[in-house]
Amino acid sequence: MVKLLPVPLGIGVLAGGLLVWERRARKHAERLGAATLETLLATIDANDAVTGAHVRRVADYSLILVDAAGFEERIRRSIERVALFHDIGKIHEAITDIFHDGSRLTPAERRAVMTHPLRGAQVLAPLAYFFPDLPEGVLCHHERWDGKGYPRHLKGTQIPISARIVAIADTFDAITHTRPYKKGRSVTDATNALLAGRGTQFQAELVDLFLSPPVMELIELSMAKTFAPSRKNQRRGRGKVSRPVPDITFRWRTVDAAPRQRDR
């Protein structure tokens, strides 16, 4: 004869089982979201190793700034994701050849390039279920503090913090690293560009923090170690990377996983 549990005990066991099931389901969903991002990052690399290298450097510089600002882990991860995928719109077929061309951009090409934040946000929109602020951060990374950016001319704190931080890191890297269509310049040139945009293009407090000696020291260390495409492939605008890729996406696999030890 089947022996039934006392009713209160039976409900307790059922509730406990549901809780375990719910935790497992959440963990699976997090892994699926993170795996999707890793696949997308691999797709960027496969299409354009120069952009793959650029977004990793931007993510590294953004994280240095985020750590100096003392943001909580949830925001830190969100900013890291926006940094890694801010240029995913550039691998769209309407734009990608413009970057590999190597010549100066025509006005029409420039207009085409300016669609990349929207194209990127559209690519990432289905992932908003897992990462609600990712498409919006990517959409806003060319907005300016003074409202003269694009695509929506947002102003000041209307721009998500992720996009404000990525804008600084992106500009710094765009100036200091050679791209297929542009030769890299010095850290001093990049510093001057950030100072010129302080309070207009960029949030003044973030520029001050980025250019502070302790942060710049870490940025320069990162510049010395971060990978870049080989010279030959850099000239071609694509190809194999010459140094291993920092595993900065690995931390996303579970929400409660310990942050990766910074390898600097």
Active-site residue list:
90
Nearer to Fe ion, 83 or 228 (CB): 83
Helix (H, G, I), strand (E, B) or coil at 182: strand
Nearer to Fe ion, 33 or 90 (CB): 90
Interactions with Fe ion, residue window 117-156 (CB under 5 A) = none
CB of 183 to Fe ion, least distance (A): 19
Residue-level length of the chain: 264
Those residues with Cβ within 8 angstroms of residue 124's Cβ, 6 or more apart along the chain or in another chain: 85, 88, 131, 134, 135, 138
Report the 3 state secondary structure along 40-54. Answer: HHHHHHHHCHHHHHH
**Count of alpha carbons within 13 angstroms of residue 156, beta-carbon side:** 1
CB of 19 to Fe ion, least distance (A): 43
Nearer to Fe ion, 34 or 167 (CB): 167
Q: Read off the tokens for 30.
A: 């997090």
CB of 237 to Fe ion, least distance (A): 16
Nearer to Fe ion, 139 or 219 (CB): 139
Place of tokens 């250019």: 211
- What is the rounded distance in angstroms from the CA atom of residue 173 to the CA atom of residue 161? 19
How many amino acids of this chain bind Fe ion (CB under 5 A)? 1
Interactions with Fe ion, residue window 4-43 (CB under 5 A) = none
In 3D space, the residue among 119, 111, 112, 113 whose CA is nearest the CA of residue 85 turns out to be 119
Those residues with Cβ within 8 angstroms of residue 122's Cβ, 6 or more apart along the chain or in another chain: 89, 135
**Count of alpha carbons within 13 angstroms of residue 231, beta-carbon side:** 0
Nearer to Fe ion, 35 or 94 (CB): 94
Closest residue to Fe ion, judged by C-beta, is: 87
Q: Read off the tokens for 248.
A: 């900065």
CA quadruple 210, 215, 221, 225: dihedral positive or negative?
Answer: negative
CB of 95 to Fe ion, least distance (A): 10
CB of 176 to Fe ion, least distance (A): 16
Q: Read off the tokens for 213.
A: 């000696």
* Residue 225 near residue 233 (C-beta atoms within 8 A): no
CB of 98 to Fe ion, least distance (A): 13
- What is the rounded distance in angstroms from the CA atom of residue 55 to the CA atom of residue 47? 13
Nearer to Fe ion, 87 or 173 (CB): 87
Interactions with Fe ion, residue window 53-92 (CB under 5 A) = 87
Which residues are near Fe ion by CB under 5 A? 87
